[in-house]
Structure 1
């Protein structure tokens, strides 16, 4: 029983994203806040379906401000692009920014 619980817990542990995507998230995180996105980014009508149920990286949360916006970054590793989904108010109110390029990590 204990080994079953341990296996379930280990399987549910989030994996560490590729460093490229960590650096990309850190970069784009600087352009989003509960008040919205400050980037002049392209938008698409909706997030590509193959990304809808994948893991995402949270860039910002709505905070305590009424009407605050949350931002999640979805990675399309095959196409080497990201999409940032901005939601506010009802869950069906969203803006999808992208496709956006990855941002290389600075040299060590």
Structure 2
């Protein structure tokens, strides 16, 4: 993914298109905060489908560029589960990861 400031790279009909990013009036690295702002009708943001789908289905968010998409690498091809190294093989961690996989598959995302 190109991370040039002020540029969004999207794909449409097999072409890579460069869009000028709107100048943000607000910026944060807190995803929950940004999502709350979107749900309050403030702003535009690219969201991973697994996160946006429930809000789109309920009409709480509206897709603005339905014919464009970002490379999966824009958000990472996977969801990362972080845990301490000594917890890798604990039953709780394995059950959580299995449950997350099942949930994403049920949503058509895994």
- TM class by shorter-chain length? under 0.3
Give the TM-score taking structure 2 as reference length.
0.23
Instruction: Give the structure with the higher percent helix.
Output: 2
Give the TM-score taking structure 1 as reference length.
0.24
